[in-house]
């Protein structure tokens, strides 16, 4: 039992590190003078290669089946919908609406998978969503209606992706990530030939950092951590990404968050910390009774 608890704690750290690396997207995308679809496509081409090499090193067999394909389609949908939403509505609207994924996880799991959630889970989701909304309160605008709906679609797709992670072995999760990035690259890379981005030293460095450290390595961490970290937990821990994102922008670009952002960040971090501690103690108490 102690070994399982240790694996769960490691899984939580892997998902947290994944979210931290994901959060560097804002600053690098801000520095890149490229079209969003070019960034998305080239980044995914690099990230997919990184994950595939990781699979070869670990000698994981590549799997093309209904599990890996479902996770690939949902992840690809998330990335494409999110990029498109950013073109049609504000970036703040897009990232807030995408992180409605915990709500979709609870709804889908309860309606179709028969999963029962505790009051603590429901409260944690509600407060986390409130904190994220507060974090971007000063920047939320009406935006484009279509863009907002697409961002909600990204939240639904991301929720489905998280659910798929816990229903297949690690090699299938990693295979799904490779396929998803390949599909995204097929959509985005052709824009290289229509937008003619600058291929100088700095942009090339930024896109490599995005592909390797912001997307490739994090998805390998997520695939590993999701074996012992439930979908709802992964999604809640992943909510640290939109909180850390503006921190890096502030540190490296000088764009300071406002008071609502600071309060929202404190609310989300405190909520996730309390929720994780509560779940850990509850699991230990239940194990002791057994």
Residue 261 clears pLDDT 70, i.e. is over it: no
Mean pLDDT of the region 249-255: 70
**Average pLDDT for 83-111:** 74
Q: Residue range 150-168: average pLDDT? A: 85
pLDDT at 42 over 90: yes
Contact 142, 136 (CB under 8 A): no
Residue holding tokens 């990204």? Answer: 154
Angle 105-108-110 (CA atoms, 0-180°, nearest 5)?
100
Residue 288: per-residue pLDDT = 66
Residues 191-205 pLDDT 10s: 999 988 888 889 999
Q: With H, G, I as helix, E, B as strand and everything else as coil, classify residue 37.
A: helix
Q: CA–CA separation, 55 vs 50, rounded Å?
A: 9
**Best-predicted range by mean pLDDT (18-27, 82-91, 228-237):** 18-27
Band of residue 285 on the pLDDT scale cut at 50, 70, 90: confident
Residue 73 has pLDDT above 60, yes or no: yes
At residue 240, the 3 state secondary structure works out as coil
Rg of the chain in Å (alpha carbons): 19
- Whole-angstrom distance, CA of residue 213 vs CA of residue 171: 20
Of 178, 248, 203, nearest to 23 by C-alpha is: 248
The HSE-up count of residue 239 (CA atoms within 13 Å, CB side) is: 36
């Amino acid at each position: 039992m102690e070994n399982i608890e240790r694996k769960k704690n490691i899984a939580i750290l892997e998902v947290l590190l994944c979210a931290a690396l994901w959060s560097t997207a804002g600053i690098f995308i801000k520095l890149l003078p490229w079209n969003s679809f070019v960034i998305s496509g080239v980044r995914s081409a690099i990230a997919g290669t990184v994950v595939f090499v990781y699979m070869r090193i670990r000698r994981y067999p590549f799997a093309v089946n209904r599990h890996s394909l479902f996770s690939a389609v949902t992840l690809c949908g998330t990335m494409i919908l999110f990029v498109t939403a950013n073109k049609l509505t504000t970036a703040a609207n897009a990232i807030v609406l995408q992180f409605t994924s915990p709500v979709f996880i609870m709804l889908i799991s309860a309606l179709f998978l028969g999963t029962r959630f505790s009051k603590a889970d429901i409260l944690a989701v509600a407060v986390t969503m409130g904190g994220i909304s507060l974090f971007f309160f000063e920047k939320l605008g009406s935006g484009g209606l279509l863009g907002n709906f697409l961002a909600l679609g990204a939240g639904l797709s991301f929720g489905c992706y998280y659910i798929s992670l816990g229903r297949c072995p690690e090699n299938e999760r990693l295979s799904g990530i490779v396929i998803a990035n390949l599909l995204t690259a097929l959509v985005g890379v052709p824009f290289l030939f229509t937008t003619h981005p600058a291929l100088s030293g700095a942009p090339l460095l930024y896109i490599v950092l995005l592909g390797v450290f912001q997307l490739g390595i994090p998805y390998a961490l997520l695939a590993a951590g999701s074996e012992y970290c439930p979908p709802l937990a992964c999604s809640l821990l992943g909510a640290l990404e939109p909180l850390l994102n503006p921190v890096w922008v502030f540190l490296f670009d000088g764009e300071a968050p406002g008071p609502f952002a600071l309060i929202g960040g404190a609310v989300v971090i405190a909520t996730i910390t309390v929720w994780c501690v509560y779940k850990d103690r509850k699991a230990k108490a239940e194990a002791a009774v057994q």
